[in-house]
Amino acid sequence: MKMKRFIVGIVLFAVAMGIQASERKKYNFNSDWLLKIGDMERAESPKYADGDWEKVTLPHAFNEDEAFRVNIKDLTDTIVWYRKHFRLPAEAKGRKVFIEFEGARQGIDLYVNGKLVGQHENGVMAFGFDLTPYIHSGENVIAARIDNDWDYAERSTGVKYQWSDRNFNANYGGLPKNVWLHVTGKVYQTLPLYSNLKTTGVYVYAEDIRVQSRKAVVHAESEVKNETKKAQTVGYEVELLDRDGKLVKRFSGKEQTVPAGGTAILSAEAEVGGLHFWSWGYGYLYTVKTALVIDGKKTDEVVTRTGFRKTRFAEGKVWLNDRVIQLKGFAQRTSNEWPAVGMSVPAWLSDYSNGLMVEGNANLVRWMHVTPWKQDVESCDRVGLIQAMPAGDAEKDCTGVRWEQRKAVMRDAIIYNRNNPSILFYECGNESISREHMLEMKAIRDRYDYHGGRAIGSREMLDIRDAEYGGEMLYINKSAHHPMWAMEYCRDEGLRKYWDNYSYPFHKDGEGNTAYHSAATGKTQKHADASVYNRNQDSFAVENVIRWFDYWRERPGTGRRVSSGGAKIIFSDTNTHFRGVENYRRSGDTDPMRIPKDSYYAHQVMWDGWVDTEQPRIHIVGHWNYDAGTVKPVYVVSNTDSVALLVNGKAVEGVHRDYHFLFTADSVAFEAGTLEAIGYNEGKEAVRTRLETAGEPAAIKLAAIQNPDGWKADGADLALVQVEVVDAQGRRCPLANDLIHFTLDGPAEWRGGIAQGPDNYILSEDLPVECGVNRVLLRSHTRSGRIVLKAEAKGLQPAELALSTESIEVENGLSTYIPGDCLAGRLTRGETPDTPSYRDRAVDVAVLSARAGAHTEKAGNSFDDNELSEWRNDGKASTAWITYRLERIARIDEVCLKLTGWRMRSYPLEIYAGDTLVWSGETDKSLGYVHLNVKPVPASEITIRLKGSSKEDDAFGQIVEVAAPVANELDLFKAKGGAETGHELRIVEIEFKEHLNR
């Protein structure tokens, strides 16, 4: 009777799970894991006593408590074990069982029922194992021994992985990513998991894309394995469904005979009309169902969520759906972490974070150094955020085993992520690689993703035409060939806590660099002077405006050679590569809890539009709560023609414009009430905003940000709760820094937030607001119920927030709930407009030839569209000139120059149009190009002449950092010979422009 009831129970469970003999099934395998830190003998044994192990739900890094609490270099690296007891439904008997890990850090040995299944070591990429030979019909035990030693070396070679770097790759150890279980028949479509399984899965792409007529040829192909004992004749059927689940097209491919034990590629294609193309801020995704058909019956169906878009990379520009887009976004650490949980957040929270970038008008995220985990990749699909996907690297090219490791990770990453439409760039290195290595990477791309419409390149690659894009870390690059965009720019930092010089807690630029004691390490940390980059929020926002201006003025429409934009470092403050007092990087547009800084809103204003700004926007930097008698500068960021500033309705005099987007009133006297900014275009009001003086702090306010599908009681879902100090009218008090005490009741776990102080208040139940606001994280238990969060502080009315969690069905360690599946693509920005994204403002007048005072044979280097070549004289005053013959007589009104040593050196120049002097002065120091507005005189020859001694000093000391000396060799060359006399003229690139309708 007991056996009969057991069998009945299994059958009922199978029905509940929806399993039929012919179905393929994907299970959430994150539940019911057990965790123990240390290396226990025989922990792989099914009989091992694990009753006292910690119960966790994946994803879960074993050292998550340390995220933002300790220096990245102090993250615990040791051996840890994860175990899980589970049962498969009876219908799984005789079928294939695969496990998919989205990643493990670092080296993992996997056991099932005491048997070693295999290992994986690179710590970056997804991988899988065939568990079929090891699975029992009853209870199974899976055990993973994981070693996250910073210095972990590949066992077969003894070589450490290049990307296991203490500067940038946060070591959240164990199983910090999702795990899935797949059950299939013996004739099945493979998984895209090349490591261990050596399989490539399903590949879906579109060709012959006609954006205006909304048509394309959709192609699907699947690698199919036959693990039966006889050949099988297999058909292939494809269904394309829109975002609402409606069938758009059904089409089939030719039948193929797959031999016993063999593999084949089955494919089908069809023209499809009425398509919605994936775009920036338009995460339109289709569901593609690819099914195998044997004897007229579907035997295996794989569901792929993807989107279709058209790309082009040429003429120094990037096209998306036939519209030029200048890249505007962030170089974000791939860990993308949060305090006290690291990278292991639920899918909806990934959407929240990545969606904030899009809401801030960013269109690109460049993940840094290592491949992002699948959850972030899919999240960017949904929110409409372009991705640049690296593989694995450090700060330089490499050879031998390390290069082979890098190629293997690129191969695996491309296969795993090639169906994700948001990936437009494959990045082969965070530093320039050789031409030979570029060709090897290109061959991998062409083999596994030839049809994906993605450019492959690397940082720098300024003169290697085999790369399909390039760009430096700190400087401005332009090209008329492959697109150039900045991989990291504006490296200054600003803690969200500090408003300005005039309000508490009073932070002048560079202040606060004192030693601090860490309870976690027991050590006193000392820091180098950071006065040139450690900013308050006013100057941090202003600096970000200045830095983007460098790229904006080189945008498409400004001539033949253009910049395709740039990625600012970073989006959210990160627990990696810190330089100031705090043990984390504060360059983000948001803090670690994703609370925006003023720079976030500055970028939102400047980045509106694909190239040219499209919607009028305006933002006043800072707040309007000061002591009586305070006089301070007020900064307004606007994309309008002009700005008026009013205090309590009275106009402020002397508002001036800098760097196109920045409007400044140097001395504004504070008056309690309102500060209003109005933006005008062509003399008409286009947009306005205001700040209002808040009253005295009166109360605490709580608000929840949570899973749109409901807070799930799965042991991993998080709720984000915002806490504010407000006045009697409910307005946030911008100067409040009250210490809030939190009390949590119900089935949830306190994960807390972050603030400046001992150990950054990680996991503390007492947390101060900063500038009147903060946020905390709560994690669900596996038991559902009502949860109450209370917040109180001295002198303030307390607040209470009631939430509830929803149960998730888990049976025998398996669940069919896939968190990301319930999240819809966001269509916020609408489909790609069919209008031009920019207006041509200037045309280049080409150079036919040049002669010079010295080295005329190399004069062509100064106009060859190669920023690694230059022309230079011989250091003598008499030879410091060069004359260019233009293709036609032209009224040149601007000369654009990249001069060697642009960051450090000012050149005293005279410019002649024919014999007429049209410009005289000293060039500015810059991060790339200088623009000289010259008197427009008809001429066919332009002469550049040095008129005195050049001056040299570093005008941009604040950007000096790791690897800066190799960021651009031409910039850092010291003059030789001519340096003593100062009569050296060196030109990297020159452009002659005529502006249209100036």
Query: Between β-strands 785-792 and 739-745, what pairing exists: parallel, antiparallel or unpaired?
Result: antiparallel
Query: Among residues 582, 572, 587, which one has the least CA distance to residue 537?
Result: 587
**Dist. CA 215–CA 237, nearest whole Å:** 20
**Dist. CA 751–CA 768, nearest whole Å:** 15
Query: In this structure, are residues 238 and 253 in contact, taking their beta carbons and an 8 Å threshold?
Result: yes
Which alpha helices (DSSP H) does 360-507 contain, by range? 374-383, 400-417, 435-448
Q: What six digits make up the tokens of 264?
A: 């084949």
**Dist. CA 87–CA 137, nearest whole Å:** 7
Query: Among residues 13, 62, 59, 33, which one has the least CA distance to residue 142?
Result: 33
Q: What backbone torsions phi and psi does residue 92 show, to the nearest 5 degrees?
A: -80, -10
Query: In this structure, are residues 154 and 121 in contact, taking their beta carbons and an 8 Å threshold?
Result: yes
Residue 979 to residues 406, 535, 897, 987, Cα–Cα distance (Å): 42, 35, 20, 15
Residue reference for tokens 């720079």 = 599
**Dist. CA 534–CA 686, nearest whole Å:** 35
DSSP state, 797?
B
Q: What six digits make up the tokens of 738?
A: 């009250």
Kindly tell me the sign of the dihedral angle through the C-alpha atoms of 16, 21, 27, 31.
positive
DSSP string, 243-272: TTS-EEEEEEEEEEEEPTT-EEEEEEEEEE
Query: Among residues 90, 92, 143, 145, which one has the least CA distance to residue 113?
Result: 143
Query: In this structure, are residues 144 and 129 in contact, taking their beta carbons and an 8 Å threshold?
Result: no
**Dist. CA 182–CA 650, nearest whole Å:** 68
Kindly tell me the sign of the dihedral angle through the C-alpha atoms of 463, 466, 469, 470.
negative
Within 13 Å of residue 876, how many CA atoms lie on the same side as its CB? 7
DSSP string, 697-753: --EEEEEEE--TT--EESSS-EEEEEEEEE-TTS-B-TT--PEEEEEEESSEEEEE-
**Dist. CA 550–CA 129, nearest whole Å:** 49
Kindly tell me the sign of the dihedral angle through the C-alpha atoms of 402, 406, 412, 416.
positive
Q: Which of 488, 582, 724, 984 is catalytic?
A: 488
Amino acid (one-letter) located at 5: R
**Is 922 considered catalytic here?**
no
Query: In this structure, are residues 146 and 101 in contact, taking their beta carbons and an 8 Å threshold?
Result: no
Side by side, the strands of the sheet bearing 297-306 are 247-258, 232-241, 286-294, 297-306
Tally of helices (H runs) and strands (E runs) in the chain:
9, 63
Residue reference for tokens 């030879």 = 879
DSSP string, 865-901: S-TT--EE--S-GGG-EEEEEEEEEEE--EEEEEETT
CB burial class (10 A; 0-12, 13-18, 19+) of residue 353?
buried
Query: Between β-strands 565-569 and 327-333, what pairing exists: parallel, antiparallel or unpaired?
Result: parallel
Query: Among residues 348, 975, 385, which one has the least CA distance to residue 705?
Result: 348
Q: Which residues are catalytic?
A: 488
